[in-house]
Structure 1
């Protein structure tokens, strides 16, 4: 038996970067995100030089999922619906999924390359390249 969910109050502050907020039933969900995040002291003037093809992380193939193992299960629903007073979500990001309802299949993927460039390290690199 599929149950209905009743929610009195639902608030989401932010949904970003290939994330999904689904109210209702769905069969399949496949969010994917590729991100290069660059933090540089003093700011970044351009995204030039930070292309996805420069990083092997974005070229790697996903390993195959293990075969599905059927597990015998018995479910006893004492009521036909679920009652929730309040849901408060600050944020959903990078292929995240919030589902209010039934979802048969979900396969989410997020690949993030985070680069931090600190001024002290940059000065050291420039000195080493001069030597």
Structure 2
């Protein structure tokens, strides 16, 4: 793997939550993975046995990855093997977000979210 120095003058991240990563420098493998149930209700009710990911097929369906069949030829020459960044400003990162300054050999990112809206029946329907 190509090695370079990563130089960042300033990083300002206001908020980072739910397994976010900030990395300066090279990495061999980056795997970001996040899954969430987003439930919106008109009435605030919580049932104790909610949140079973296996109940929703969206969390277990395989993701189709189309193979790259094109022949790729890459030639690089780095006269100055330094990645220079002046300032990085991020308002918010969430759900396995990754800020990475450097080289990576393998990167895999996956996010799966099931949105559920539970509305009260219309008064006209009752």
TM-score by length of 1: 0.75
Moved more, 13-22 or 29-38: 13-22
Give 1 or 2: higher helix fraction.
1
RMSD over equivalenced CA pairs, Å: 2.7
Give 1 or 2: higher strand fraction.
2
After TM superposition, the structure 1 = structure 2 runs for residues 1-131 of structure 1, keeping only pairs within 5 Å, are 2-46=3-47, 48-67=49-68, 69-118=70-119, 122-124=120-122, 127=125
Unaligned runs of 5+ in 1: none
Could you say what secondary structure the match of 1:99 adopts? strand
Q: Across the two proteins, how many residue pairs are aligned to each other?
A: 125
Distance of aligned partners of 1:27 and 1:80 in 2 relative to their CA distance in 1, 3 Å threshold: closer
Q: Deviations over 1:58-111 (max 9, x none)?
A: 121222441464521233434332322210112222332211222110111110
Unaligned runs of 5+ in 2: none
Are the counterparts in 2 of residues 20 and 31 from structure 1 also a CA contact under 8 Å?
A: no
